[in-house]
Amino acid sequence: MDGQETKSRRATSADVARLAGVSRTTVSFVLNDTPTQSISAETRRRVLAAARELSYAPSAEARALSRGRSTSVLVYLPPARSLTEEIGRIVERLSTLFDEAGLSMVIHAWTRRPAAQVWSSVTPAAVLAWDLTDEDAQLMRGNGVRGVASWTGTDAIGRWVTGAREQDSARLQVGRLVAAGHHRLGYAVTGADHMHGASQWRWEVLRRECEQRGLPAPGVVRLPADPSGAAQELEEWRAREPGVTGICAHDTTAALAVLAGMRRLGWRAPEDLAVVGVSDSAAAALADPPLTMVALDPEITARYIVDVVTALVAGTPTPPEPTSGGAVLVDRDSV
SS3 string of the chain?
Answer: CCHHHHHCCCCCHHHHHHHHCCCHHHHHHHHCCCCCCCCCHHHHHHHHHHHHHCCCCCCHHHHHHHHCCCCEEEEECCCHHHCCHHHHHHHHHHHHHHHHCCCEEEEECCCCCCCHHHHHHHCCCEEEECCCCHHHHHHHHHCCCCEEEECCCCCHHHHHHCCHHHHHHHHHHHHHHHHCCCCCEEEEEECCCCCCHHHHHHHHHHHHHHHHCCCCCCEEEEECCCHHHHHHHHHHHHHHCCCCCEEEECCHHHHHHHHHHHHHHCCCCCCCCEEEEECCCHHHHHCCCCCEEEECCHHHHHHHHHHHHHHHHHCCCCCCCCCCCCCEEECCCCC
- State the average pLDDT over residues 308-335: 95
pLDDT tens for each residue of 217-230: 999 999 998 999 99
| Residue 287: per-residue pLDDT | 97
Of 10-19, 172-181, 267-276, the least confident: 10-19
**When comparing pLDDT for 126 and 152, which is higher?**
126
The yes-or-no verdict on residue 62 having pLDDT over 80 is no
Q: How far apart are CA 300 and CA 160, in angstroms?
A: 11
The predicted pLDDT at position 51 comes to 86
**Average pLDDT over every residue of 191-205:** 76
Q: Measured between alpha carbons, how far is 190 from 188 in angstroms, rounded to an integer?
A: 7
Residue 178 pLDDT exceeds 70: yes
pLDDT 10s digits, 96-148 = 999 999 888 999 887 777 766 677 767 789 999 988 888 888 888 888 888 99
Span of 33-47, 96-110, 181-195, 266-280 with lowest mean pLDDT: 33-47
- The pLDDT tens digits of the residues spanning 312-321 come to 999 999 999 9
How confident is residue 9, by pLDDT bands cut at 50, 70 and 90?
low
Per-residue pLDDT band for 211 (boundaries 50, 70, 90) equals very high
Average pLDDT estimate for 270-294: 96
Does the pLDDT at position 64 exceed 60? no
Read off the pLDDT band of 66 (50, 70, 90).
Answer: very low
Q: What is the mean pLDDT of the chain?
A: 87
What pLDDT digit, counting tens, does each position of 19-59 carry? 999 988 888 778 766 666 678 889 989 988 998 888 876 65
Predicted pLDDT of residue 1: 47
Cα–Cα distance measured from residue 296 to residue 75, given in angstroms and rounded to the nearest whole number: 21
Rounded to two decimals, what is the model's pTM?
A: 0.76
Query: Which segment of 44-48, 78-82, 172-176, 273-277 scores lowest on mean pLDDT?
Result: 78-82
In order of their start, the domains of the chain are 3-58 (1.10.260.40), 72-161+299-322 (3.40.50.2300), 164-296 (3.40.50.2300)
